[in-house]
Chains A and B, each alone.
Chain A
Amino acid sequence: MKILACSKISDQGIFLNGIQQSIEKTTNNWKKELYIKLGVEYPKFYKMDALAKMAFLGFELISNSTSIDHLADDELSLLFANKHSSYDTDQKYVNSYMEKGSPGPSLFVYTLPNILTGELSIRNKWYGENIFFIQEKFDPEFFIDQINFYFSKGSNACLCGWVDSAKGIEECFLFLVENKAGELSIEELNNYYKQ
């Protein structure tokens, strides 16, 4: 298993393959600024909730440095997890019907954490496997085990992510691995996460 690229967005800043990018994450508008800076043309971005936006941007960063054009459209598996599920959007949605009396369908759509894998698949036309787990914290061993399952069943690449947004804390760690010679240790993966 070989890591091809990774991106990390957190309070420390925005990183691609360990190198800090020149967009500050201090403004509330950082997602829009990054979207514009990346030169992406995908208006559906604006509808997404925070989780989906972060995952989207995390992958756009990665795809600027690494191409996966050689993969067939069902060869890439998506493996994502977080601790808080769709907490932020859930809160907004509850407000929309409890306080405003009007449940918002476009909000409700995002009250499931796996919609972000759906958004990635729609954008990139990926038809492979995808899953979302809820866990206490990022567990590198778990991810490596799961990736090995996918590779043993014939998947050639895996886009993995820990994407969480709750109570003011935003975090998006994405990494792309390919089924190629090479070792990825738990420690190494943890180091990438801790950037």
Chain B
Amino acid sequence: MKIHITGYGLISSIGFNAEESIKSLRIGQTGIERGRFEAMSNYRVGAITLSNEELKERFELNTDGSRTALLGMVAAKQAFHGHEISDQIRTGLISGTSVGGMDISEVEYKKYLDQTDHNPENYKHHSSGTSSMQIAKELGISDFVNTTSTACSSAANAIMMGARMINNGLLDRVIVGGTDAMSSFTISGFKSLMIFDDDWCRPFDESRKGLNLGEGAGFIVIESEKSRKLSKKESLAVLSGWSNASDAFHQTASSPDGQGAKLSMLEALDRAGLAPEDIDYINAHGTATPNNDLSESKAIQGVFNEIIPPFSSTKAFTGHTLAASGGIEAVFSILAIRNGYLYPNLNFRTPITETGLTPQLKFEEDKEIRHVLSNSFGFGGNNSTIIISAV
């Protein structure tokens, strides 16, 4: 059964929608800068320059929620634009998040500690599940709502789960993706792991030191052919492959040979009925940590051998948006298919000595891009891959 993609939406530090994002990608304009707000002022982060109030106003959001939920609403609404709720189309929403409502809870908790103005009502936004329900409410979706929480592979896993539910006849149409807002919790946590780069991150570069965090949301709408005939939406691309595998190595580090990543890519190709040489572009996980980029490079070499397609990480543009990254990068993949785009891997100078690989360095368009492979690897050794193909 073909899984059609009939909508997409995203918001990140490089744009409030797909069109703005492409403009930034085209001119090599990163969204990462030194943080404007207190908790982030020491770090380079990919922050969205709108407050929660501004998000609600600008995007006409009717449902209250944490910043994670609000960002999710923006992206999901864009994706669902032009779709209608219908009795004949069983519609679900599956969202991946790691922050949930922590961005509100941590502010509230500080007020509690400082004994100022504390409102325990606000903790109701805390649960990851609540953010998904708020997004669903904003869109009027009630048939099925679920939440994945597998760190940086959450959105990719949400996409995978949605595809399965359609394939198995449990749903006809699903909005799938992920969202994560910036929070002190996450910033301090990654800082304690010592995997930040004080400078702009350098994916796949020999001198890379670590990642820059980002925030954002990315959602796509997938539906069966039967549903598409009813919704009358154009098929923009096809979700042809997906897979998840365990790295079984360490809680936060990837195995040196990228075992889990390799398995995940191979199985996704197998599901899509494709050979490695059919892939025209890889949107890598590419967080720019010493560990991930080496591990992922080895895995890519293990799958593609000598003939490695153009590949790049877009995280030097958006920052690492954690649970949202698989969703945002799925949108980039769809746009690559539709417009023949290849995205540049910013800040690259020298290949990793051990692998000698050079990523795509400039923005190109009108290329023949029929199949895109997108990787999302989460803590816990949770490795996911999705493949998006031309209709």
Contacts and interface: CB of A to CB of B under 8 A. Distances in A.
- Contact flag (A, B; Cβ within 8 A): yes
A88 B164 CA distance: 32
Interface string A10-22: 0000000000000
A114 B380 contact: yes
Interface stretch (A29-37, A61-69, A121-129, A174-182): A121-129
B352 interface: no
B380 A83 contact: no
A85 B260 CA distance: 24
A114 B379 CA distance: 8
B242 to A, nearest CB: 10
A128 B246 contact: yes
Contacts of A124: 248
B107 to A, nearest CB: 11
Given A85-B128, A145-B170, A78 B146 contact: no
Interface in A117-144: 117-119, 121-122, 124-136
A89 to B, nearest CB: 11
Interface string B124-158: 00011100100000000000001111110000010
Nearest to B94: A133
B128 A114 contact: no
Interface residues of B, number: 52
A60 interface: no
A41 interface: no
Contacts of B259: 127
Nearest to B97: A134
Contacts of A98: 106, 109-110, 113
A103 B192 contact: yes
A1 to B, nearest CB: 14
Nearest to A108: B189
A3 interface: no
Interface string B100-131: 10100010011001000000000000011100
A97 B102 CA distance: 14
A171 B270 CA distance: 38
B251 A119 contact: yes
A115 B380 contact: yes
B291 to A, nearest CB: 14
Given A108-B193, A115-B379, A117-B380, A97 B188 contact: yes
Interface residues of A, number: 46
A109 B379 contact: yes
Contacts of A128: 245-246
Contacts of A114: 149-151, 378-380, 382
Chain A interface helix/strand/loop/mixed:
mixed
Contacts of A148: 168
Q: Which residue of B102, B192, B260 has the most chain A CB atoms within 10 A of its CB atom?
A: B192
Contacts of A127: 245-248, 259-260, 263
B389 interface: no
A118 B382 contact: yes
Interface string B67-111: 000000000000000000000000000000010101000100110
Contact of B248 (A93, A99, A112, A125): A125
A46 interface: no
Contacts of A103: 188-189, 191-192
B52 to A, nearest CB: 20
A100 B119 CA distance: 23
Interface in A81-104: 83-85, 90, 93-94, 97-99, 103-104
A52 to B, nearest CB: 9
Contacts of A129: 243-246
A96 to B, nearest CB: 9
A149 B161 CA distance: 9
Contact of A130 (B127, B168, B382): B382
B168 A93 contact: no
Given A98-B109, A121-B247, A127-B263, A133 B192 contact: no
B149 A122 contact: no
Nearest to A145: B170
Contacts of B363: none
Contacts of A132: 148-150
Given A112-B151, A125-B248, A105 B193 contact: yes
- Chain B CB within 10 A, most for which of A105, A116, A119, A124: A105
Given A98-B113, A135-B146, A122 B128 contact: no
B252 interface: yes
Interface string B246-281: 111111100000011001000000010000000000
Contact of A135 (B129, B168, B263): B129
Most-contacted residue by chain B among A132, A148, A153 (CB, 10 A): A132
Of B102, B147, B150, most A-chain CB atoms within 10 Å? B150
B148 A122 contact: no
Contacts of A27: none
A103 B250 CA distance: 20
Sorted from nearest, which 9 A-B pairs have the closest CB atoms?
A: A118-B380, A108-B189, A105-B192, A103-B188, A121-B248, A121-B246, A134-B147, A103-B192, A114-B150
Interface of B: 98, 100, 102, 106, 109-110, 113, 127-129, 132, 146-151, 157, 161, 164-165, 167-168, 170, 184-185, 188-194, 243-252, 259-260, 263, 271, 378-382
